[in-house]
Structure 1
Amino acid sequence: MTAASRIGTLATIGLLVMTAVWGSTFVLIKDVVGRMPVADFLAVRFIVAAVAMFALFHRHVARLGRKQLLRGIALGALYGVGQLLQTWGLSLISPSVSGFVTGMYVVFTPILTTVLLRERLPAAVWLAVGLATLGLALLSLNGFSVDTGVWLTLASALLYGLHIVALGRWSRADDAFGLSAVQMAVIALVCLLATAGHGGPTLPPDRNAWLAVLYMALIAGAGAMLMQTWAQAHLPATRAAIVMTTEPVFAAAFAVALGSDVLTWRMLLGGGLVLAAMYMVELMPRRGAAAERSAEAVHHEV
């Protein structure tokens, strides 16, 4: 295994850990936003995350060039608006439907890659996208009505897809810390501005809400953003998006493990399809590298 292949494998594992953390947050978010306004919850969550990241990585931010700083601002704005739309949508629909519609970034990402970057994607990637989408539907949907919450969540999925494509294009391994911190600060600002209509954010109402917010700020917020920014410096955008569709698989696994849900054939089949899609996009680069090595060996022999 080459050094690049090893780093790609580590990046994939990092994204899987990140999506496992994200998968654990759906029920927590649903509970907290039932007791405090959506924008207030997000503002507190991302302000805490931004303060933590700047305390750790302010020197890395200072080393960013003007271009990367502007890119971090643009990325943070995309993600911040996406978070607002997704969480508002989640307050209106069930967590399972929210999980499916949010996961539609797996469809938007290759479309945006093709349209914006003029990259031609292999047929196997589109097959993996189809498998992942079908798996998400089996995992998440049991009846589906297109209402305001669904449209808000679909808009957030489009923004997440754009964020994934742009991050894949702009992220560099050596500025992942600084770029992550800038993104987090802008996300916090976007969410804080959304609370301006009622005079600024209210704080979480009780100890349990604070614990949930801190977990989502430090682990599912700052830690996840840092991991995604580093990982996408080493993975194609569409490959990263398909790996991240394992989020509802982890969400279902947590629900079953904690006794809040029962294992069903839909979970098993849907999760299997999502994992098959991920395996497909993970296998393609290795096959390509193996083919290149074989071609080089034949060339040297000749």
Structure 2
Amino acid sequence: MEIKNKAMAADLGLVFITIIWGSGFVVVKNTVDAIPPGYMIAMRFGIAVGLMCLIFFNRLKKLNWNCIKSGIILGLLMFISYYLQTVGIQYTTAGNNAFLTAVYVVVVPFLYWIIRKEKPDAYNIFAALLCIVGIGLLTLRSGFSMNTGDMLSLFCGITFAAQIVAVSILAEKNDPILISFTQFVVTAIFAFAVALFTEPFPEEMDTNAVLSTFYIGICCTLIALVLQTVCQKYTPPARASLIMSLESLFGSIFGIIFLSESLTMKTFFGSILIFLSIMISEMKPSFLKLEKKSLEVPDHSK
């Protein structure tokens, strides 16, 4: 009963995270003009690191080399993911950015196939094909071209899938708080290094930009990502990725409400197909009858 209660609490925690992340797409979209992507990531993770030092000071004394190694791997993946996402959102809508990022749910089973030798089932394959069609409707322009923002958002979804798989593996035998701290430090360092050599320093930031940065740093980074690492300790990766995919829905809704983003029929159906692919990949509805045995070729040699 205790394990079941922890699993339920972890699921609810992940739902809470998706709402925060959904709002984050809007906040980042509104702030990225004032603060370049690299500096924004460095600031948001720097704020999270500072607060963690205050809140978990005694716990951080237990930091060991194993946690540091895990944090370096996760921090590098996290930096790449957030950098692609933050740069990408400059050239596309918050809704597109959210839905394309969420393709990590479809990618996760295939990454597990590579790492853990667990083959994806027919539902995962069907979901991947459906997702590709949805991405096409959502992003392809005339001449079968995608804009820069959509492409970066799509690559971001792939790297996020790698990060989710890595968290699921590395959080099994490590303190999630210590892993979160080390990956935040690594992400902030990478972001600051890239920003220092590629972006102008944001010398003037208005009140909205400052408040937005603190919201992203405290809510979307510290609270959400620490909670994600803790919850994934009690929730299987497949279910965790399914729940976290709801951020795309919330991101799209918040984009329409707060940024007045348009919702065309093409965008609507593309988003629906991606969302359906996410549901099919993880829920495996029985009415589709895509059981593995139905895809096997009978062996008549026996």
The aligned counterpart of 1:68 is 67
Taking structure 1 as reference, are residues 130 and 22 closer, same or farther at Cα in structure 2, changes over 3 Å only?
Answer: farther
Cα RMSD over matched residues? 3.3
With 143-152 and 195-204 compared, the bigger mean Cα shift is at 195-204
What is the alpha-carbon distance in structure 2 between the residues aligned to residue 174 and residue 114 of structure 1?
23
Residue 236 of structure 1 is matched in structure 2 by 236
- Give, in whole Å, the separation in 2 of the partners of 1:189 and 1:76: 9
The aligned residue for residue 177 of structure 1 is 177
TM-score, normalisation: structure 1: 0.79
How far, CA to CA, are the matches of 1:187 and 1:263 in structure 2?
34
Q: How does 1:1-302 map to 2 (within 5 A)?
A: 2-124=1-123, 133=131, 141=138, 144=141, 145-172=145-172, 175-197=175-197, 201-202=201-202, 205-255=205-255, 260=260, 274=275, 277-278=278-279, 281=282
SS at match of 2:56: helix
SS class of match (2:20): helix
* CA gap 1:243/1:275 in 2 versus in 1, 3 angstroms: farther
Q: Displacement of 1:35 after TM fit?
A: 2.0
Does the CA-based 8 Å contact 1:173-1:233 persist in structure 2? no
The number of aligned residues is 281
- For 1:244 and 1:18, how far apart are their aligned partners in 2? 7
Unpaired runs of 5+ residues, structure 1, are: 285-302
Distance in structure 1 (CA, Å) of the matches to 2:156 and 2:261: 27
Q: What one-letter code is carried by the residue in structure 2 that aligns with 1:44?
A: M
Shift in alpha-carbon separation, 1:16–1:271, aligned structure 2, 3 A: farther
Confirm or deny: 8 A CA contact 2:104 2:161 kept in the other structure: yes
Residue 198 of structure 1: how far off its partner (Å):
6.0
- Sequence identity percentage: 26
Note the C-alpha offset of 1:100. Answer: 2.5
Q: Residue type matched to 2:191 in 1? A: C
Q: Is the 8 A contact 1:249 1:271 kept in 2?
A: no
